Structure 1
């Protein structure tokens, strides 16, 4: 049984500490893929929600210092309850965010980290040739993904024109480029959510990371072909393609 088939059978619950800019898109991506999205911003319900969740996805896109206790508690509970923990380190090379993530990583272990080349370079203590939160353009920088995986102990997904998935020892690649991923804010957040959904039903997180990235990338390429490179309708068409893939499995 494929991972996508397992998702349709189990309908895993994915708990999200979401970026408020993209939370609706994240919820839709999980739901259209066959999972069940759940968001929280309340620390008092952390233990209950992590207990019932099948995976936890945390996104630092719109964090503030007051969020740190919530993030720490949710992440620690995910580790304690052996729930896959996925990090989307939005703009982690900005000092406040870097400090936020460093403190988290002193206390918890992330199972999968999904970021662009500039963000992954930060985990490898390297300088990326690409800059900013939209560093998607060129330069595979495979070594950065490998070193980041070795330093963090996490499976690394480095997104770009060619996505690199590394466990620190081997790499897999997904060549499903679409220029509309970059233009549409939140596509990376959606991918992180899809990764969490795949990880929720798989014992092999490296395989789950690869298959989720391939699934999302292929859906994006098909969507791009249908909207003829016009970005306004891209996300809706992307969600349609994600949903259609699940219906084909069913």
Structure 2
């Protein structure tokens, strides 16, 4: 029960402090990432030009790097912004979208990991496996692997997650039917969310922005990652339950924004499905 109160306090910190979250993200979901950041109470900035990213990140409270729409221009900006963030102890969140789909994408993600201290890596199982160096299949930028059977996650996946976190000295959030978040020691499983979230482009990217918002407000890496993932899952369930019979994925997306905007401690306590081990 204490973990739900920690998430609630972290949410209140975001709303009180309104951290500036610097995004270098992809153009498919950039508007969604900006709006979800505003919905939770943080402030987004989406600057990606090499001539200003160093200056912008110094003004920011966290940095989100999302490689969804890679190009050589923004890769340089990502690396330089990440280095500057490290210099000023500003937490960096990496979303390795589609890693494993192409050699170039995998190479760039590994380069970012090698040159920047990453506070949290959030991705699906295929992406995290590919980043670790394990052969994994992706379908475009989506995972082709389902690591949960019903409600349960295998001990081998939990062990893999811990190994990843320890090897890269980071927190990893592997999102799927059941989400896994670990710093290599403590491990949380989150069973919130709804399968209809997979019908909306950018829910993973938005989740990463939420993590960046929590880190920017002072949450430590593990709790910030957990709070971001749980917030997205809880909001997804609340939003789905508010759909009228004739409404679909478009309405769900707007209702997710509304659910996060109005998210309360009571809803976190009533809807949260978090296990710790």
The normalised TM-score by structure 1 is 0.93
What CA distance in whole angstroms lies between the structure 1 residues aligned with 2:59 and 2:70? 24
Task: Confirm or deny: 8 A CA contact 1:56 1:83 kept in the other structure.
Answer: yes
SS state of the match for residue 44, structure 1?
coil
**Structure 1 residue 248 displacement after superposition:** 8.4
- 2:160 is equivalent to residue 153 of structure 1: no
Moved more, 226-235 or 77-86: 226-235
**Structure 1 residue 177 displacement after superposition:** 2.9
What CA distance in whole angstroms lies between the structure 2 residues aligned with 1:223 and 1:19? 25
Pairwise CA RMSD: 2.0
What CA distance in whole angstroms lies between the structure 2 residues aligned with 1:42 and 1:223? 35
Match of 2:249 in 1: 231
Match of 1:240 among 244, 253, 258: 258
What CA distance in whole angstroms lies between the structure 1 residues aligned with 2:158 and 2:114? 25
1:247/1:240 CA distance change after superposition, 3 Å: farther
Report 1:201-216 matches (<5 A): 201-216=217-232
What CA distance in whole angstroms lies between the structure 2 residues aligned with 1:222 and 1:153? 34
Match of 2:103 in 1: 95
- 2:115 is equivalent to residue 107 of structure 1: yes
**Structure 1 residue 178 displacement after superposition:** 0.6
SS state of the match for residue 245, structure 1?
coil
Moved more, 179-188 or 117-126: 117-126
- 2:126 is equivalent to residue 118 of structure 1: yes
What CA distance in whole angstroms lies between the structure 2 residues aligned with 1:52 and 1:127? 39
What CA distance in whole angstroms lies between the structure 1 residues aligned with 2:52 and 2:115? 20
The normalised TM-score by structure 2 is 0.84
**Structure 1 residue 85 displacement after superposition:** 0.1
**Structure 1 residue 120 displacement after superposition:** 1.1
Moved more, 189-198 or 166-175: 166-175
Report 1:48-197 matches (<5 A): 48-93=55-100, 94-128=102-136, 131-132=138-139, 133-135=141-143, 137-139=146-148, 140=153, 141-197=157-213
Match of 1:47 in 2: 54
Match of 2:274 in 1: none
Q: Which runs of 5+ in 1 are unaligned?
A: none
**Structure 1 residue 189 displacement after superposition:** 0.3
Match of 2:28 among 8, 21, 41: 21
